[in-house]
Structures are given as structure tokens and as C-alpha cells.
Amino acid sequence: MNSGTSALITALLAHGIGPGDEVIITTFTFIASVNAILSVGAKPVLVDSDLETFNTTPEIMKNVITEKTKAIIPVDVGGMSIDINAFTEFARKNNLIFIQDSAESIGAEYGGKKVGSFDHTSVFSFHMAKLATTVEGGCVLTNDDEIAEKCRMIRNHGMQGKYDYKCFGLNFRITDIQAAIGRIQLRKLNGYIRLRNKLADIYKKGLGDKIEYQKVPDYVNVHPYMLFGILTDVEKRDSIIKLLNENGVGTRICWLPTHKQDYHRKIFEGNYPNSELLASRIINLPMGNGLTEKDVNYVVKVFNKILEK
């Protein structure tokens, strides 16, 4: 597809999700996850996240299931896979469609298998900020032939044969130029992941136990580190960012939870303390395919000086 957002919308439409349906999703996610649900006329039902992994869990989701709940969309925050087996069982037990928002986790591995190779639908993004990029793009992965065929039609105005429209669709096609870039990028993906893991190790060794990191559970074999998020004291976070920036270190603070966004706060109500705490504590340190060990060692040096103050 031409974007990860288009891929999310396509996956929802292919599974027949629309008006009257509820879809459970974490509030601690990039806004596209929720906007995709709104765009098909369904109702996003927000849930909180786990403070250690930054991801949501079936235990958190189970409290908001209603007779209108049709699907769940757990998100791989920062690139780290959710607990796929737990969500698979949760979806089966409650007769729910399971769509994994893997926009940030291409190349991740869970239980010895690549994310995207399981028995549910997964959605990836190839935005220029991702590990493998087509500058802008996305895809849907599924082992269901019927869902796959629906996705192919939806991304092309619902067309099956030439000018033969079988269902509702839009222009979600990716260009040949973008696809060509993506094919080369995918060949380099494993190298990018090795680099990012090496850089993450430098961060962890250099900063030590003075900092809290995103917990990587045993079921995650490969974390691709789309982002490298750390947690700081709420009252110190902004001053740390300021000092890092003054020393030439760029940072990202991720995102506000969906229910705190200007537009979405008019739609959603609720209490999501973990997501709000994460959003107020998190700093994403530099991480990227073009980063070097020297770059990261410099960040560590600057950060440790700031901590000493």
C-alpha cells in the first residue's frame, strides 16, 4: 500500500469492520492506529499499557469487551513485539479478529518466528523513519487467501478484473519506484537490525542501571529497536532534553496518548494512568541506520554528564 495508515484501513475493511463495531486499541500509540478505526466508521475503545514493556496486554483489554467488540489491534511500541501467543488465545477465546499493528516492528522475532508470519493479520509501515523504507508505504500480511484477495481489491478501488469493481476500495496503491526502493531496503534489513542492537547494547552498558529501559521479555527473540526509549523522572525530563539538545543530541518524546490529543480528547473519555506516565517520562534517544558507535558513545558521555548534575 502507499502508507502504513492505508494498510491499517485496508486490513479493517478486508475483515468487514465498520459502523457499529468496536475495536480495542491502546491509547499509547501513534495516532494513525486510532484514526484508521475512525475512518471505517467503527468505534475505537481505548485501553492502557504496561509500564515495563510499553505495550498493552490481554489482561488490560479484557475489561472493556462488550457484545459490540469485533476486533483487537495491539501495537508493537518502539518495534518490540507484543505477546503474540497471549493475544492469539485471547482473540480465539472471545471470538475476535486479531490485527497486529506492527508498523514499527519489521524484522522483529517472537518465539523464533518473524513478526508477520503468524496466523493473524499484521500491518507494517515503510515510512522513511522506519527500519526499511520505501520513503512512504506499507503492507498487510496474512495467511488467509480470502483476506489477501480483499486487500488487493480494496487498495485498487475494489477492482478485481479490469474495471470490474467487486467491493468498496480506494487508491492505496504503492508506486513502482517506491516498491523498487523497498526491495533493496529489505535486503539490508538484517544488517540494520544487527547495527541497532549493537547501538542499544552500548546505550545500556554506558548508562547502566541509572536509567530505566523498555523491558524486553523472554518471548521476544529479536527487538529491532525502531526506537530506543528510556524513562526519566517526570520533573527532570524536560531539562534533560534541553541539555541534550544544547550538546547536539537530538531526541524524540514519542507522542501524547490518543485521549490527550486536541481533537481526540473531544471523543474519548477515560483514565489511562500508565500511558500518561509513560508519555511524561519517556525520551527516545538517537537510533537509526546511519548512526555509528562513535555517535552513541558521544550521547552516552553527554547523558552521564547531565546525570552527574
Q: Which pLDDT value is given to residue 161?
A: 86
Low-confidence ranges of the chain (pLDDT < 70): none
Q: Which pLDDT value is given to residue 200?
A: 98
Residue range 38-61, pLDDT digits in tens: 999 999 999 999 999 999 999 999
Domains and CATH numbers, the chain: 4-179 (3.40.640.10), 190-308 (3.90.1150.10)
Residue range 165-204, pLDDT digits in tens: 999 999 999 999 999 999 999 999 999 999 999 999 999 9
**Nine cell digits for residue 32:** 494513525
Non-local CB neighbours of 24 within 8 Å, separated by 6+ positions: 45, 47, 61, 64, 65, 69, 71, 72, 73
Q: Which pLDDT value is given to residue 101?
A: 98
Q: Which pLDDT value is given to residue 254?
A: 74
Residue type, 170: L
The model's pTM = 0.95
**Nine cell digits for residue 271:** 483514565
Burial 124-158 (b: 16+ CB within 10 A, else e): bbbbeebbbbbebbbbbbbeeeebeebbebbbeeb
